Structure 1
Amino acid sequence: MYEALDTAEFDAAIRLRTDQLGGSLSALPPLRLSNARMEASPGRGGPNGGYLAALAIRAAEQALTPGAPVRTVSVQYLAKPDFAPLTLEASRLRGARTTTFAQVVAHQAGDTRFTAGLTFGQDATSPAHRPLSRPAGVAQPEGLAPLDLPPAIVPHFTQLADYRPAGAGFPFANGEEAVIRIWMRLNDGLPLDAARLAFLFDAVFPSFYAVTDRPWPAATVDLRYDFARALTPDVAPDGWALFEFRTRDWANGWAVEDGTAWNRAGELLGVARQLRKVLARGASAAV
């Protein structure tokens, strides 16, 4: 039933099909986007959470044609989807001249798997204050070595991306600060857009791995992205973005993590906040 997803086909993975009878949208999550470890069958895991957020963006854009770039997407993962057809229902909650509020609900086998709230908004003339600057002294990705981790801890979805650690937070180093900095892009090298950034924001190991000596599997419960600008093809034409992830708190089985992304020019692309449920040791997947 499933075909291998070529690394150049991320856009195909988020392409939605329209039901000719009811008009509903559907997608078939590919096994290559599984969060199961490479040494395990991909069917043991579920679809990557950033990929599901990208589907929500695409569903709202396709069904509602908001006419403005996405500014926020906030996802609650209620139950793990299977690698089977996933139905997405998009509704407009409220629309004004410059701003649209939307909701996407994803169903599978009669069960709600995740919900997403989205805001779309047009640019306008206003004052500017941009205090978040890209970390200084970070080399461009071409000058950095690719990330090399053993298959025992690497999820299947990492096959779609190129990872270049940027000097902070190598996993399992027992460091003092739960921070990682890393350049990432999809392997096809196409320009970054909101859906691709949504995937990449959730395409790397948790930042608390930098202060441990072993992996601690974790599942995403809530995920929110705020995009700082319209992600037009000229913003990151070769797909590269520099990410910094920082654990704000990790205790009592939960972790709160923030993420920030910049392009080569040092322009802020977006910020993320993720709530993870840290699982018991021995679990087979992490979102």
Structure 2
Amino acid sequence: MQFNEVLLRAREDIAAKRPLQIPAGWTQGRATFGGLAAALLYEAIDEELSRTVDPGIPLRSLALSFVAPAEVGELNASVTTLRAGRSVAQIEARASQGQQVVTAALASFGRPRPSTIAVSPAAAPEFPAPEDCQALPYIEGMTPEFTRHFDYRITAGGLPFSGASEPRLGGWVRFKAPTGAASISHLLALIDAWPPAVLPMLKQVAPASSLAWTVEIMQSAQEQAASGEEWWQYMAEVDQAGDGYGVTQARLWDSRGNLVALSRQTVTVFA
């Protein structure tokens, strides 16, 4: 099932008040791809926003905790509007399977307001053209299953488990299947599609997974119509690693070099 098909089914299930469905083909190890799990939960948050607040208020930040592995099958989502003020609204959501919460989220929305402070983000890195860059290969049994839905071109850092000394990883990424204009859910998948930036530093194969993840979405990203099948630029850096955990920060730019999202993750590393 392609990403847009997953989103369409999720919206239908939410409207019908049915459990969400995690399809096969989107796993990473025994868990579901975090970007897909986040997107499904955000779709439930977006419906709550439309029903109780205002669908036009921009998302500013989405904080997620991956409490337990989400597996293929039914996913029950519960959503609560914590507060809806004149400028800011906050919505909490939880996804569970059986009696276990698997993902928790807090979405913060904020209307634009006049301000004397304006800081422009740094320009997008100057990458070689995608066709001139090394592709991230799919290796059965080693590469996560969900990566078959994306194209990758590496421009910074090394391949996972290559023992690279450089604590960063980046390049180009896009959906393989057509998506149309990229929604917030598409952006969540795109910025999470790359392997954790700590993996190229390992010399042997070992699992890693997200523990906590915060994404900030630029308002301009919600006003533009870049498509998910265009090439997007991505760069992640390892801020700190030790004791089996790593802290990484990442940025995502559209094909025109506009910053669209910032990401910060705490990653568990089993090596």
User: Which interval holds the TM-score relative to the shorter structure?
Assistant: 0.7 to 0.9
1:56 corresponding residue in structure 2 = 41
CA–CA distance in structure 1, aligned partners of residues 88 and 3 of structure 2: 34
In structure 2, the CA distance between the partners of 1:7 and 1:229, relative to structure 1 (3 Å rule), is: closer
Q: What are structure 2's unaligned runs of at least 5 residues?
A: none
- Whether the 8 Å CA contact 1:229–1:270 is kept in 2: the answer is no
1:259 corresponding residue in structure 2 = 250
In structure 2, the CA distance between the partners of 1:105 and 1:7, relative to structure 1 (3 Å rule), is: closer
Pair 1:205 & 2:198 matched: no
CA–CA distance in structure 1, aligned partners of residues 223 and 25 of structure 2: 26
> Letter of the aligned partner of 1:265 in structure 2?
R
- Whether the 8 Å CA contact 1:168–1:180 is kept in 2: the answer is yes
TM-score by length of 2: 0.88
RMSD (Å) for aligned C-alpha atoms: 2.3
Pair 1:15 & 2:6 matched: no
1:137-164 CA distance string (max 9 Å, x none): x123354453224223211111111112
- Whether the 8 Å CA contact 1:16–1:27 is kept in 2: the answer is no
Residues 211-220 or 102-111, more deviating: 211-220
1:89 corresponding residue in structure 2 = 78
1:39 corresponding residue in structure 2 = none
Q: Secondary structure at the match of 2:200?
A: helix
Q: How many residue pairs are counted as aligned between the two chains? A: 264
1:165-193 CA distance string (max 9 Å, x none): 12433333322211111211111243322
Q: Secondary structure at the match of 2:148?
A: helix
CA–CA distance in structure 2, aligned partners of residues 234 and 140 of structure 1: 23
- Whether the 8 Å CA contact 1:13–1:30 is kept in 2: the answer is no
Pair 1:271 & 2:262 matched: yes
- Whether the 8 Å CA contact 1:29–1:85 is kept in 2: the answer is yes
> Letter of the aligned partner of 2:162 in structure 1?
A
Q: Secondary structure at the match of 2:107?
A: strand
Pair 1:166 & 2:151 matched: no
In structure 2, the CA distance between the partners of 1:172 and 1:109, relative to structure 1 (3 Å rule), is: closer
- Whether the 8 Å CA contact 1:175–1:212 is kept in 2: the answer is yes
CA shift for structure 1 position 134: 1.3
Pair 1:30 & 2:23 matched: yes
In structure 2, the CA distance between the partners of 1:96 and 1:258, relative to structure 1 (3 Å rule), is: same
CA–CA distance in structure 2, aligned partners of residues 8 and 142 of structure 1: 26
Which of the residues 208, 219, 225 maps onto 2:215?
A: 225
In structure 2, the CA distance between the partners of 1:97 and 1:240, relative to structure 1 (3 Å rule), is: farther
In structure 2, the CA distance between the partners of 1:256 and 1:217, relative to structure 1 (3 Å rule), is: same
CA–CA distance in structure 1, aligned partners of residues 25 and 88 of structure 2: 35
TM-score by length of 1: 0.83
In structure 2, the CA distance between the partners of 1:113 and 1:211, relative to structure 1 (3 Å rule), is: closer
> Letter of the aligned partner of 2:45 in structure 1?
A
Pair 1:105 & 2:94 matched: yes
Give matches, 1:39-188, under 5 Å.
Answer: 45-65=30-50, 66-67=54-55, 68-126=57-115, 127-136=117-126, 138-188=127-177
Structure 1 consecutive aligned stretches of length 4 or more whose deviation exceeds 6 Å: none
1:68-127 CA distance string (max 9 Å, x none): 122111111112222221111111111122321110011221222221000112334444
CA shift for structure 1 position 197: 1.3
CA–CA distance in structure 2, aligned partners of residues 113 and 125 of structure 1: 39
CA–CA distance in structure 2, aligned partners of residues 48 and 219 of structure 1: 9
CA–CA distance in structure 1, aligned partners of residues 61 and 12 of structure 2: 20
CA shift for structure 1 position 260: 0.8
In structure 2, the CA distance between the partners of 1:125 and 1:7, relative to structure 1 (3 Å rule), is: same
Pair 1:243 & 2:243 matched: no
CA shift for structure 1 position 13: 5.8
- Whether the 8 Å CA contact 2:36–2:189 is kept in 1: the answer is yes
- Whether the 8 Å CA contact 1:75–1:114 is kept in 2: the answer is yes
CA–CA distance in structure 2, aligned partners of residues 147 and 277 of structure 1: 22
- Whether the 8 Å CA contact 2:236–2:250 is kept in 1: the answer is yes
> Letter of the aligned partner of 1:217 in structure 2?
P
